[in-house]
Amino acid sequence: MTEENENKPQQNEDISSKSEEAKPKEHENQKQAPTNQEDAPTAESDEINQSSDRPPKADSSETTSKSEKPKRPRKKRTKKDQPPEKQEPSPNQPLLDHYVKMIKNSLGDDSIEEAFVNRSSKELPTITATPKSYFSIAKLLRDHEELQFQFLSDLHGIDYESHMEIYVYLYSMTKKQSVALKVKLDRDNPVIPSLVPLWKGANWPENEAYDLLGITFEDHPDLKRIMLGEDWEGYPLRKDYEPYDVEV
Amino acid sequence: MIRTEEMLLNVGPQHPSTHGVFRLVVKVDGEIIKEATPVIGYLHRGTEKLAEDLQYTQIIPYTDRMDYLSAMTNNYVICHAVETLMDLEVPERAEYLRVIAMELGRIASHLVWYGTYLMDIGTTSPFLYAFREREMIINLLNELCGARLTFNYMRIGGVKWDAPDGWIDKVRDFIPYMREQVKGYHELVTGNEIFLNRVKGVGQYTQEEAIQYSLSGANLRCTGIPYDLRKEQPYSIYDRFDFHVPVGETGDAWSRYLCRMSEMEESLKILEQAVDQFPEGGKTMGKVPRIIKPPKGEVYVRIESPRGEIGCYIASDGKKTPYRLKFRRPSFYNLQILPKLLEGENMANLIAILGGVDIVLGEVDG
């Protein structure tokens, strides 16, 4: 299938989304006003929304009285106002500790740079490996009987300007657990062992990271530019990349 | 004696049955494929790079253009990522609308696959039936959001439009009709001797290989692994629905066919329950700040698209544009196994295997 162009009815939408973009800027200074508007969609305004055809509603401007506030947003607010709740240890903390212990036992204390539970990513245990131990940690995570992270879900690179990073998301289908493995690389010379010997599925994602970020994967069977042409200059996803056509 | 020698053959990038701008360089010895090298990137638009200069809401239409056969799931994955990062609550009504839209999209996407796959194999009529039903779904979605393909329907914290009057009833009426049609598809194709000969044992792989190659969706389930993120790590409100995950046994094109056909029926089940549970009133947008600025941090979420596991990674530095956005695109991962599947195969099976993987090039190339 080719990309069909069936977009005519969207025109309306385009206009409304433009105004959406413009409006926030006007209101930026009076943040409170818009939030209050949204707080108080009375029964009336809801009815209007349902009956009329396609009102540019809810997220655009609609001045309603700030009389009664519905229960749900208030619930949300109380949640937000309780940072102490966040301080509680994550339910996945024991899992992370377990992984870290396993890794340290077999690969030494200095194999892990950092380990934490990423609270904002569904309590995801995250391990930052040192470049030297990156491959062996990945292998251990895959093969160890108590870990069994046999499925590589995602692999990509990030340019943090101070350093490069590889982010690998692994999943254990047998234990139904996830882990993120990260490694920080020298930005000027980002070289790291390839994971293709462990997961053949890492082949193209690594090519993509090489293509767009210039990260070199050692022992990769076929490291090449996969999206861009072989003669492309520079690595587009690097933060200091200068676009070919600056105007665009 | 006829002397044969290896020949390099170029398939694509515009070959009609390659499902888009996909190029395959095949080395053939007579009719047998010795080596196949996929060449991709013809549709690379640099979505991830573009996104770095866009506000989150502005990124949503770009996701429509990745997997353009099931834009609703793409819409959802980015919204879900931002919502997770910001810890936002989505109103009940919006979640139901999202699920209904996504499942309708899943059926529509499978219908395109069904029609085009059988066309690849050499029969034309299923395509016509599949597109007739798909048109009905597209019309439903059009009524919902005003677009037929690139919906741009979901928003961070909810959905853009509420369902128009009577829309839910239209969906309700559509379910039994579609169920009948799926039965019809089976009658038309499933028992057909020629079809069976074309797909049975073709493009076969084992469970271990499927996991090795990071396959997902029906491509993984056809080997017998019941791995569906709607069950595995329920997101949205999928834990409220009773459905099962169809799996295959043999891991060949035939089992992939059966999986996808049953998935349509399962989606209908979900739709049926979602329509019944659909809340009377309520908002379609949660409380979302005017300018969406997720806190500093990173998030990776994944959901089940018709083609497999679609993931979205966001690294935010607290600004209104993402610092780094990454989509884990199922077609991109699934396609990697193609060279292995084609090796040693008959040339005539090339399209039967490629079609069975069910790729969308907009997604492969990002």
Contact A28 B85 (CB under 8 A): no
Residue B332 CB neighbour total at 10 angstroms: 26
Whether pTM > 0.90 for this model: the answer is no
Task: State the pLDDT confidence band at B281, using cuts at 50, 70 and 90.
Answer: confident
Residue A142's alpha-carbon distances to A122, A135, A169, in angstroms, are 22, 11, 12
Q: What is the pLDDT at residue A62?
A: 43
pLDDT of residue A28 exceeding 50, the answer is: no
Contact A228 B48 (CB under 8 A): no
Q: Which residues contact A238 (CB under 8 A, 6 or more apart)?
A: A159, A213, A214
CA–CA distance, B59 with B273 (Å, rounded to integer): 31
B41-68 average pLDDT score: 92
CA–CA distance, B156 with B176 (Å, rounded to integer): 32
Q: What is the pLDDT at residue B311?
A: 94
Walk across the sheet containing B23-29 and list its strands: B6-11, B23-29, B32-39
CA–CA distance, B316 with B293 (Å, rounded to integer): 8
- Mean pLDDT score of chain A, rounded to an integer? 75
Task: State the pLDDT confidence band at A125, using cuts at 50, 70 and 90.
Answer: very high
Q: Which residue in B26, B81, B32 sits closest to B294, CA to CA?
A: B81
pLDDT of residue A225 exceeding 50, the answer is: yes
Cβ of residue B143 closer than 8 Å to a chain A Cβ: no
Angle ∠(A29,A35,A41) on CA atoms, nearest 5 = 145
pLDDT of residue A16 exceeding 90, the answer is: no
Q: What is the pLDDT at residue A59?
A: 45
Q: Which residue in A106, A124, A108 sits closest to A116, CA to CA?
A: A124
Q: What is the pLDDT at residue A20?
A: 44
Cα distance from A180 to chain B (closest Cα, Å)?
A: 9
Look at A244 and A12; give whichever has higher pLDDT.
A244
pLDDT of residue A11 exceeding 50, the answer is: no
Q: Which residues contact A64 (CB under 8 A, 6 or more apart)?
A: A37, A40, A41, A42, A44, A45
Pair B297, B324: CB distance under 8 Å:
no
Environment class of A131 (CB within 10 Å of its CB; exposed 0-12, middle 13-18, buried 19+): middle
Name residue B285's amino acid. Answer: M
Name residue B288's amino acid. Answer: V
Cα distance from A71 to chain B (closest Cα, Å)?
A: 12
User: For the segment A152-185, what is each residue's pLDDT rounded down to a tens digit?
Assistant: 999 999 999 999 999 999 999 999 999 999 999 9
Q: What is the pLDDT at residue A35?
A: 41
Q: What is the pLDDT at residue B11?
A: 86
A134-148 average pLDDT score: 92
Contact B324 A237 (CB under 8 A): yes
Residues of B in contact with A52 (CB under 8 A): none
Please tell me whether residue A243 adopts helix, strand or coil conformation: coil
CA–CA distance, B144 with A156 (Å, rounded to integer): 35
CA–CA distance, B74 with B55 (Å, rounded to integer): 17
B34-42 average pLDDT score: 92
CA–CA distance, B235 with B240 (Å, rounded to integer): 10
Look at A46 and B240; give whichever has higher pLDDT.
B240
Instruction: Using CB atoms, pick whichever of B116, B162, B290 lies closest to residue A1.
Output: B116
Cβ of residue B94 closer than 8 Å to a chain A Cβ: no
B211-236 average pLDDT score: 93
Q: What is the pLDDT at residue A33?
A: 41
A5-19 average pLDDT score: 43
User: For the segment B117-167, what is each residue's pLDDT rounded down to a tens digit?
Assistant: 999 888 899 999 999 999 999 999 999 999 999 999 999 999 999 999 999
Contact A201 B336 (CB under 8 A): yes
pLDDT of residue B219 exceeding 60, the answer is: yes
Task: State the pLDDT confidence band at A207, using cuts at 50, 70 and 90.
Answer: very high
Q: In this structure, what token pair is assigned to residue A123?
A: 């309590």
pLDDT of residue B242 exceeding 90, the answer is: yes
Angle ∠(A57,A59,A64) on CA atoms, nearest 5 = 70
Q: What is the pLDDT at residue A90?
A: 86
Q: Which residues pair with B285 in a beta bridge?
A: B158
Please tell me whether residue B61 adopts helix, strand or coil conformation: helix
CA–CA distance, A87 with A42 (Å, rounded to integer): 36
% chain B with pLDDT above 70: 98
Name residue B339's amino acid. Answer: P
Task: State the pLDDT confidence band at B17, using cuts at 50, 70 and 90.
Answer: low
B254-273 average pLDDT score: 95
Pair A210, A164: CB distance under 8 Å:
no
CA–CA distance, A101 with B14 (Å, rounded to integer): 53
Residues of B in contact with A4 (CB under 8 A): 68, 148-149
pLDDT of residue B254 exceeding 50, the answer is: yes
pLDDT of residue A195 exceeding 70, the answer is: yes
Q: In this structure, what token pair is assigned to residue B257?
A: 């066919």
Instruction: Using CB atoms, pick whichever of B214, B225, B287 lies closest to residue A76.
Output: B287
Question: A51-74 burial string, b = 16+ CB within 10 Å, else e?
Answer: eeeebbbbbeebeeeeeeebeebe
Q: What is the pLDDT at residue A89?
A: 84
Pinpoint the alpha helices (H) of B192-252.
Answer: 193-199, 207-212, 218-221, 229-232
Tell me whether strands A191-193 and A216-218 are parallel, antiparallel or unpaired.
parallel
Q: Which residue in B66, B100, B13 sits closest to B366, CA to CA?
A: B66
Q: In this structure, what token pair is assigned to residue A140?
A: 């251990």
DSSP letter assigned to residue A241: P
Name residue A121's amino acid. Answer: S
Q: In this structure, what token pair is assigned to residue B359?
A: 């790729």
Reported ipTM: the value is 0.92
CA–CA distance, B163 with B112 (Å, rounded to integer): 25
CA–CA distance, B85 with B293 (Å, rounded to integer): 10
Q: What is the pLDDT at residue B19?
A: 73
Rounding to the nearest 10 degrees, give the CA dihedral for residues A106, A112, A117, A120: -140
Q: Which residue in B201, B203, B222, B205 sits closest to B213, CA to CA?
A: B205
A98-106 average pLDDT score: 91
Contact A9 B148 (CB under 8 A): yes
User: For the segment A41-87, what is each residue's pLDDT rounded down to a tens digit?
Assistant: 444 444 444 444 444 444 444 444 444 444 454 444 444 455 555 56
Pair A187, A161: CB distance under 8 Å:
yes
Q: Which residues contact A151 (CB under 8 A, 6 or more apart)?
A: A170, A171, A172, A173, B211, B214
Q: 3-state DSSP: chain A helix, strand, coil percent, rounded to 5?
A: 40, 20, 40
Look at A207 and A242; give whichever has higher pLDDT.
A207
Pair B245, B265: CB distance under 8 Å:
no
- Mean pLDDT score of chain B, rounded to an integer? 92
Q: What is the pLDDT at residue A66?
A: 45
